[in-house]
Structure 1
Amino acid sequence: MTGTAPVAVVGPTGTGKSDLALGLAERLGGEVVNCDAMQQYRGMDIGTAKLTPEQRRGIPHHRLDVLDVTQTASVADFRTAAEREIDEIRERGHVPILCGGSMMYVQALVDGWMIPDTDPQVRAHYERRLEQIGVEALHAELAAVDPEAARTILPSDPRRTVRALEVVELTGKPFSASRPTIGEPRWGTRLLGVRCDLAELDERLATRAATMFATGLVDEVRRLVGVGLLEGVTARRAIGYAQVLDEMDAHQRIDDEGTGRAEERTVIGTRRYVRRQRSWFGRDHRIRWIDTDTRGRADDAPDPLEVALRILGADRR
């Protein structure tokens, strides 16, 4: 296989991954491969902070807008498609820039994680159980059959609870048995992580949510309901979308108080997700970390892009 080793830009939500990935693509001659599960969905733009075509600066982006909201996002399907696109990018002599914070998506590519594919009947069974008994009770069922998985999955996380139970049933083994081994990255991928002081990041996340609601997230949810969002399994549970749906009545109406609650709960949900991302990526010793804090930063401090290029040994100044 010809071409240059990929660069993965990973880290928690709100730390500046997209900006860094764009800068690297421009400087290195790269194409971006999205590794954010929810940005795969067409129409889910505001709530996922998806870059607009204009913001992409003419740089090719892959794995964006490839699913309808009625389809279920699958790590296995993503891996198959993204592997093909990475190979094609390298064959063109370009650098694949893997960008995203969906932990399993990144690891599926970098470590060749073989995750069991979904089984519609088994998945439907646990989805029904979820509707019948609620996420906490279903999480207790997971704890009974796979205590280790239950310790790593929040009792409030329905999607991962259902998935873990599905994998246990399909494989007859604990969910943890399918975890990847952190070793030499595939394709010689170089991993860069972006991080930010937690207090500053929490403020960024609140501002981010406020901007999403101010620029039309509720209307976006209404439009997506019209094309099947409520029938989807994965898309409707995305942070922001799930909170808006919870506050809407049967006619997709939502008052100011409901909108305020949805925004507050979106911030809380995002902060929880960020802490999971920090824990997951923090265990990967291969990642070279770049700080994106703005507070107390010296005027002459190099920006994250220059730090990244220095790390990669590709500073072209």
Structure 2
Amino acid sequence: MGSQYPKVVLLGPTASGKTSVAIEIARSLPKVELVSVDAFAVYKGMDIGTAKPERSQLQDLAIHMIDLVEPSTDYSAGLFKREAENAISEIESRKNIPLLVGGSTMYLSSIIEGMVFPGTWPDIRKELEDELDKNGQLGLYKKLEDKDPEAAAKFEPTNGRRSVRALEVILGSGKKFSSYGPGFGEYLPNSFRQIGIFLEMEILDKRIEERVNAQIERGLVEEVSCLLGRSGALARAPKNAIGYFEIANYLRGELTLEAAIEEIIVRTKRFARRQLRWWRRDPRILWIDGSDLKEVCLTVRETILECSRLIQL
């Protein structure tokens, strides 16, 4: 990031309430513009399953980095980083304040840490994706451990997408994935003020269950059916996104609806725990009890106002 103006980040596990807080803040502070940091909210038509705010909620609000590409398109973390940084720079050029909101850990960290993304090697990636399908996540993770133990130590063994990307870079560039940029786990001082929403797991699990059931009621099955009916196959990431993968299996007759819903809930709970494990290592995050969203709003608002005063100095 070129600008050293202070920036505010609101992060938290899925279903923690961060989107509601962000919308409330943007409504009360007209100079705030929202920057979504969600790996799947960039895809058009993936609305219910990604818990995008309804259009009526976003009326008259400035929000960036949603609905950018069709789900048949591959959209990399490196491209996301470049476009998000451009959006942040444009917001600051208007003398407004960007509020980054999201739960995609690697995407968020890439912006905060200023990570340099290496190139892409599609043929190598395709071979690794085939290997992932054949041998599973743990087999690919073991391969990453052998080639770059430092990178492997920072990834979840069950996150096949990250193992694929790291190995793609290693095999394509001839360099270790961990050698690019400051990487993750350095926690160096920067211009970002990070506020995290924390909930007891029992409460978070209940919220996840309620949200998944609400998504089904809002029409998640119909949304997935519509996406599958479009011309052009879904790209690998959207196809495997939580909720979309399970409902697609239901529509193909491979699962009952009840089993698909249960699988979505289980996967979402696991994802929330991975998010928290990633963030708990970062001492720069100020954690706020999410059981009282008014308190979270107050903390975020005060932090933004403080940053605004610093910008004007």
TM normalised by structure 2 equals 0.88
Q: 1:68 to 1:244 in 2, by over 3 A?
A: same
Q: Could you tell me whether the CA contact under 8 Å between 1:13 and 1:274 is conserved in 2?
A: yes
Which residue of 2 is the match for residue 293 of structure 1?
Answer: 291
Separation (CA, whole Å) in 2 of partners of 1:219 and 1:313: 42
Determine if the alignment matches structure 1 residue 211 to structure 2 residue 214: yes
Deviation at 1:314, TM superposition (A): 4.8
- Whole-angstrom CA distance in 2 between matches of 1:291 and 1:73: 33
1:84-132: CA deviations, max 9, x gaps? 1111111111111111011111111122111223321121111122233
Residue of structure 2 in register with 1:127 after alignment: 129
Relative to structure 1, is the Cα distance of residues 26 and 231 closer, same or farther in structure 2, using a 3 angstrom cutoff?
closer
Structure-2 residue corresponding to 1:297? none
Q: 8 Å contact 2:41–2:67 — kept in the other structure? A: yes
The structure-2 alpha-carbon separation of the partners of 1:145 and 1:229, relative to structure 1 and needing over 3 Å to count, comes to farther
SS in 2 for 1:159: helix
Question: Which one of the candidate residues 279, 291, 306 is aligned to 2:298?
Answer: 306
Distance 2:87 2:188 in 1: 23
Cα shift at 1:163: 1.5
Q: Which runs of 5+ in 1 are unaligned?
A: 295-300
- CA distance in 1 between partners of 2:288 and 2:231 (Å): 40
In the alignment, structure 1 residue 183 sits paired with structure 2 residue 188: yes
| Distance across 1 between alignment mates of 2:179 and 2:108 | 18
Unaligned runs of 5+ in 2: 309-313
Equivalences, count: 303
1:247-286 to structure 2, matched below 5 A, reads: 247-249=250-252, 258-286=256-284
CA distance in structure 1 between the partners assigned to 2:262 and 2:153 by the alignment: 26
2:120 aligned partner: 118
Corresponding residue for 1:298? none
**Does 2:172 match 1:167?**
no
Alpha-carbon deviations, 1:227-279, whole Å to 9, x = none? 25744111111111112223332xxx57xx61111111111111111111111
Whether the aligned pair in 2 keeps the contact of 1:9 and 1:98 (CA below 8 Å) is: yes
- Does the 8 Å CA contact 1:37/1:105 hold for their aligned counterparts? yes
Aligned to 1:267, what secondary structure does the other structure show?
A: helix
Contact preservation (8 Å) 2:195, 2:285? yes
Per-residue deviation, 1:3: 10
**What is the rounded CA distance, in whole Å, between the counterparts of 1:25 and 1:177 in structure 2?**
38
Query: 1:143 is matched with which residue?
Result: 145
The residue type equivalent to 2:242 in the other structure is I
Q: Percent identity?
A: 33
- Runs of 4+ that moved beyond 6 A: none
1:202 to 200, 205, 219: 205
Structure-2 separation of matches of 1:78 and 1:44: 17
Summarize the Cα distance change of 1:230–1:131 in structure 2 as closer, same or farther, 3 Å threshold: farther
Q: Of 246, 263, 266, which residue of structure 1 is paired with 2:249?
A: 246
In structure 1, the residue corresponding to 2:57 is in which secondary structure? helix
Q: Is the 1:130–1:158 contact (alpha carbons within 8 Å) kept by the matching residues of 2?
A: yes
The answer to whether the Cα contact below 8 Å between 1:4 and 1:93 also exists between their aligned partners in 2 is no
Deviation at 1:2, TM superposition (A): 8.4
Q: 1:2 to 1:110 in 2, by over 3 A?
A: closer
Give distance in 2, aligned partners of 1:2 and 1:233. 34
1:193 matched to 2:196? The reply is yes
SS of residue matched to 2:60:
coil
| 8 Å CA contact retained: 1:196, 1:291 | yes
**Alpha-carbon distance in structure 1 between the residues aligned to 2:154 and 2:256:** 31
Do the aligned partners of residues 91 and 226 (structure 1) sit closer, same or farther apart at CA in structure 2, a change above 3 Å counting? same
Structure 1 Cα separation of the partners of residues 290 and 153 of structure 2 = 31
Q: Does the CA-based 8 Å contact 1:122-1:166 persist in structure 2? A: yes
Range 234-243 or range 166-175, more displaced: 166-175
Please list, as runs of the form range in 1=range in 2, the aligned pairs for 1:45-124 lying within 5 A after superposition.
45-124=47-126
**Distance (Å, rounded) in 1 between the aligned partners of 2:67 and 2:11:** 20
Q: How far apart are residue 312 of structure 1 and its match?
A: 4.8
CA RMSD of aligned residues (A): 2.5
Residues 166 and 56 of structure 1, relative CA distance in 2, 3 Å threshold: same
Q: How far off is 1:80 after superposition? A: 0.9
Q: Which residue of 1 aligns with 2:24?
A: 23
- Alpha-carbon shift at residue 53 of structure 1 (Å): 1.6
Deviation at 1:6, TM superposition (A): 2.3
Distance 2:154 2:5 in 1: 35
What amino acid sits opposite 2:272 in the alignment? V
Q: 1:200-220, CA deviations, whole angstroms, 9 ceiling, x for partnerless residues?
A: 001000111111112211111
